[in-house]
Structure 1
Amino acid sequence: MTTIYDIAKATGYSPTTVSKVFNHYSDVSEKTKNKILDAAKEMGYLPNSHARTLMTKKSWTIGILFNEFSGMGIRHPFFNGVLDSFKRAAEAQGYDLMFISDNIGGKSSSYLEHCRFRSVDGVVIVLADALDPGVEELVDSGLPCVILDYESRKAGTVCSDNVNGSFLAVQYLYELGHRHIAHISGGEVTFAGRHRRLGYEMAVSRLKLGKREDYIVTGGVHFSTRDGYAAMSLLLDLDQPPTAVLAAGDNLALGAIKAAQDRGLKVPEDLSVIGFDDIEAAGLVTPALTTIRQDISSIGKRAADMLIQSIETVRAPEAVVLPVELVVRDSCKPL
């Protein structure tokens, strides 16, 4: 079995320097680090996790708290992609991942108790429920935390620019000549839902479209195709249905398109629809969905980097808002 002494001999560096590389010390140059890591890979070296834990006083484990109050589930393509990016970034820096729940061995516990039981070094929290006292207890504990799609003064946060994304979508529809633009909202419970609605309302105000309460229909916190279908059905029942719709999520948009088609309408000939997220299915359906793209890879990587930095050095919580972009496909048409 290859040891750090074998790698030291092969590279010409001291065993201490080799050990520092595997334990992520910052006082080793990138050139030295890369040479040692390349040699370790060629020689099939696997660091001893127990020895590393004893040396660094860390478990080298990050907890993932996927708070499923919304019922979306980890199979949702957006969060699945974000967590995949987070996983790759964390593992590249030597960390393993573990899911955290409020259950240990079949017995009810708090999230914090589970984190302490598993000795995780930090936690990434997805779909945080502001009303969940367990999440609040965890964030207040001092354990390094990063929360996705959330606002907090006590933990680092990473989200997309949801407000500007909705604004861009409405502005694009306006430029196509639409003046009756509705919004299928993600509701007020979720951070993304609130901010995407805010962006829609800001655009309606600045473009002087005239706010209509009946043009804002809550699609539900699940952001599902079923919710989008139901919301679009309500909009189509109005005396003056919209000519264009911004949905707060791509699944909502896909459901809205199906509802319109079931009424005998064509998209985009009779109704223009824009989604939000740019999940994989958005470019595969017919018509291909115009949408607001979130940078899934950057969200996951930035969250991992931020959390690991807070684990390894004491730092104030940071709030990161990442830019979005409009992806024009086939589901919108000029009037």
Structure 2
Amino acid sequence: MPTIYDVALKSGYSATTVSKAFNDYSDISPKTKKEILKVAKEMGYLPNSHARTILTKKSWMVGVLYVESFGIGIKHPFFNAVIEGFKENIESKGYDLMFISKDIGKGKFSYLEHCQFRSIDGVIIVHSDYHNEDVQELLRSDIPCVLIDMESEHGSTVCSDNYRGGFEAVDYLYSLGHRSIAHISGGDDTFSGPKRREGFKQALKQYGLPSKAEWIVDGGYFTYDSGYQAMQTLLNLGERPTAVFVAGDYMAFGAIQAIKDRGLRVPQDISVIGFDDIELARYTTPKLTTIRQNTNRIGGKAADILIEAIDCKETISMNMIPTELIVRESCQRIT
């Protein structure tokens, strides 16, 4: 198998320049890098990870930490899609991914110990249980961390503009003539729930719409069942809203089923708008109108920030990605 020195000899560049080309250093020209990589490909050269680690003083391994206490886990399509966007970007820069747990073989480790054991360069922490002490220990360490849907003074956050998305949902319903709008919110112990609820309330205030405490129902942790139960609560009220903004698509699916189980129709009797735009939203009956989170941009931005932090350019920042209204079939104009 050819070595870096064989590539250097054939390309006419020094071994140092060849190494810089492989590791995407900025102090060589794109033309030089292209020539070296072309020669390496023709020769069938594969970089030696151990040599690269010694040269760059990095493991080229980043960790993915997902911790939550609600039982859904990484199966949720929003977080799955965010990690996919992160993975695509981080791998294009030459890094590998590793999921961080507290189990290595038969041993029990903290998240920090696992990262130290594997020489992890940095970690993306996805919708974590903020009060988890092992997570806090990792955040307080010198390992760079970027957080998705979580805030900390020890790491940068990347999230959707949840407040604006909540406002946008009401704005759209108002444009359809709705004046009696309820909200099924995410729980107060979630990162995004309170922010979407505040956007909802601000839109009601701006448009001079009634803000009734009984029309805002806590849907907890964004599940189908919690959406179903919350919608039942709204349907049991003496005065029924004409539209409901639901703070998550899974909850919206539950809410729609609750409406159907009462013999009512969506959107003819009650309009429903969700939040997320998970893939299933376009296949339900009716197809769900929702506020889209740009998961690819969230994951990609998290990768960019983490790489900068690994390269000793860390600054703590809050990065909000714009949302987008996706109009389908679950909302209807009223007169």
What TM-score, normalized by structure 2, do the two folds share? Answer: 0.95
**Whole-Å separation in 1 of the counterparts to 2:6 and 2:299:** 35
Q: Segments of 4+ in structure 1 off by > 6 A?
A: none
Alignment of 1:71-90 (within 5 A): 71-90=71-90
Structure 1 counterpart of 2:321: 322
**Whole-Å separation in 1 of the counterparts to 2:188 and 2:35:** 51
**What are structure 2's unaligned runs of at least 5 residues?**
none
Does the Cα contact within 8 Å between 1:67 and 1:128 map onto a contact in 2? yes
Structure 1 counterpart of 2:330: 331
Deviation at 1:11?
A: 4.2
**Local SS of the residue matching 2:71:** coil
Structure 2 counterpart of 1:138: 138
Deviation at 1:41?
A: 4.2
Q: Name which of structure 1's ranges 24-33 and 35-44 shifts more when overlaid on structure 2.
A: 35-44
Deviation at 1:34?
A: 3.8
Structure 1 counterpart of 2:292: 293
Q: Supply the AA of the counterpart residue of 1:163.
A: Y
Cα RMSD between the aligned structures?
1.6
Q: Supply the AA of the counterpart residue of 2:101.
A: S
Structure 2 counterpart of 1:63: 63
Deviation at 1:9?
A: 4.6
CA change 1:37–1:227 in 2 (3 A) is farther
**Whole-Å separation in 1 of the counterparts to 2:3 and 2:125:** 36
CA change 1:257–1:140 in 2 (3 A) is same
Q: Deviations over 1:201-259 (max 9, x none)?
A: 111222221211111111121x1212211111111111112111111111111111111
Q: Supply the AA of the counterpart residue of 1:250.
A: D
**Whole-Å separation in 1 of the counterparts to 2:34 and 2:283:** 40
**Local SS of the residue matching 1:74:** helix
Does the Cα contact within 8 Å between 2:282 and 2:288 map onto a contact in 1? yes
CA change 1:241–1:67 in 2 (3 A) is same
Deviation at 1:295?
A: 0.8
**Whole-Å separation in 2 of the counterparts to 1:248 and 1:230:** 14
Alignment of 1:162-241 (within 5 A): 162-221=162-221, 223-241=222-240
What TM-score, normalized by structure 1, do the two folds share? Answer: 0.95
**Whole-Å separation in 1 of the counterparts to 2:129 and 2:161:** 20
Q: Deviations over 1:164-199 (max 9, x none)?
A: 001000011011111111111111111111211111
**What are structure 1's unaligned runs of at least 5 residues?**
none
**Whole-Å separation in 2 of the counterparts to 1:60 and 1:197:** 40
CA change 1:36–1:85 in 2 (3 A) is farther
